[in-house]
Amino acid sequence: MTKLADYDKYHYDYSTFWDRRKYEDGAERIALRSILKGERFERFIDIGGSYGRLTDEYYDRADHIYILDYSLETLLRNKQEILSRFPNTTLVAANAYYMPFKDSVFDGGMMVRVLHHIDDQSKLFDEISRIFTSGGRFILEYANKRNLKNVLKLKKAEREKFLNVKPYQQPQQGNNEGTKGESVVFLNYHPLYLNEISTSAGFKTLSARSTSFFRSTPLTKLPLSISLLLERFLQYTMSWAQLTPAVFLDLEKNSPHVREGLSGRDSNGLEDKKVGSRKDISDQKNPLSILSCPVCHGDLNDISTSPTCRSCERKYSLHDGVLDLRYNNET
């Protein structure tokens, strides 16, 4: 059973988290621009894209944009602004462990500030691998437990828990991103661990980009333009060390990935002869044509009114233009 970070329980406005984090926002944009430079995609998915904070960094690089987030409340609250700025965007409320898309439909995507809430990394990576085409590019940001501050811990016992590869649960410290003090999954990761997980899911790492060199240091008090100038320089010269609080990975789906137990068949039980061929399975001009039941991956009827799975007959909903295709195996 996978645990979910359900911010709708707390009516949390995630945009307020970034009101006082202009430096970190800028540092992440530097990394994204470097990785995305010169790239062009047919379909790009922002997993955990929330209120569209980073949409302007990739919107002009893809024909179709999809923002997926578990928080229906967040998508509804920000729908008008997102669609007015980025009209060619589809908003989908869904569980990242059970994404409502057909196999091999995305050639680009990213997941930023989400992985720390994921307690079953292998399950998530298998699902991401399922929806990506061979050669698809996926940008992953993660909280780095092997950052310089942790490496320099004076006590050996403290230092060792950050140097081993096992994910580290961050201590609960009051209000963790709007959860009102409730205990939530909040994991930091070792670079070697994520390399192992992503490789086993059929991805290879093209590059790693260290970010937020000055987080929680006095240098963040410098004028923003100066701190970001220094950040850009260090990202270009010191990313190899991966000793920052956050790291961006540029991953590529290097081969069709067969999920455990499927024995050469896709999730619908069909022969997987053309994995990675988008034109074989969907209408290129209709952004809704790639949607499927998040549980059985059957086709959906009445997507624009009352989505219903043709195979398992599960019913989903549409709220003011936002598709609610959430499935929670805890319920």
**AA identity, residue 211:** T
Residue 1 inside a domain? The answer is: no
- Cβ contact 162:150 at 8 Å: yes
The residue that leads in pLDDT, 176 or 205, is 205
CA distance 122 to 125: 5
pLDDT given for residue 110 in this prediction: 99
pLDDT score at 214: 93
- Per-residue confidence (pLDDT) for residue 28, from 0 to 100: 98
Rounded Cα–Cα distance for residues 127 and 139 (Å): 15
Task: Determine the distance from the C-alpha atom of residue 259 to the mean position of all C-alpha atoms in its chain, rounded to a whole number.
Answer: 20
pTM assigned to the model: 0.88
Whether residue 67 lies inside any domain: the answer is yes
Asked whether the beta carbons of 78 and 51 are under 8 A apart, the reply is yes
Q: Please, which pLDDT band fits residue 177 given cuts at 50, 70 and 90?
A: low
Helices first, then strands: H and E counts in the chain: 8, 13
Q: Tokens 């990313």 appear where?
A: 239
Parallel/antiparallel/unpaired status of strands 300-301 and 308-309: antiparallel
pLDDT score at 162: 81
Residue 330 lies in a domain: no
Number of structural domains (the chain) is: 1
**Which tens digits make up the pLDDT trace of 51-89?**
999 999 999 999 999 999 999 999 999 999 999 999 999
Supply the pLDDT for residue 279.
44
Residues 291-319: tens digit of each pLDDT: 999 999 999 999 989 999 999 999 999 99
Query: Domain for residue 108, yes or no?
Result: yes
The whole-angstrom separation of Cα 236 and Cα 62 is 26
SS3 281: coil
Q: Which residue has the tokens 């990576």?
A: 125
**Strand duo 322-324 + 317-319: pairing:** antiparallel
- Calpha distance 308→301 (Å, rounded): 5
Q: Tell me the average pLDDT across 178-198.
A: 85
* pLDDT for residue 263 is more than 80: no
What pLDDT, in 10s, does the model give residues 13-43?
787 888 889 999 999 999 999 999 999 999 9
CATH of the domain at 71: 3.40.50.150
Instruction: Evaluate whether residue 268 is within a structural domain.
Output: yes
Q: What's residue 304's pLDDT?
A: 87
Structural tokens at position 117: 């809430």
The pLDDT tens digits for 245-254 are 999 999 999 8
Predicted pLDDT at 259: 45
Residues whose CB falls within 8 Å of the CB of residue 6, separated by 6 or more in sequence, listed in order: 70, 71
Which residue type does 91 have? L
119 belongs to a structural domain: yes
- Determine the structural domain holding residue 281 and report its residue range: 7-324
Sign of CA dihedral 236, 239, 243, 249: positive
Q: Is residue 136 part of a domain?
A: yes
User: What is the share, in percent, of the chain residues with pLDDT greater than 70?
Assistant: 84
Residue 329 lies in a domain: no
Cα separation values, 193 from 132, 150, 167, 170, 212, Å: 21, 17, 8, 17, 21
Beta bridge partners of 95: 98
Structure tokens at 74: 């967040």
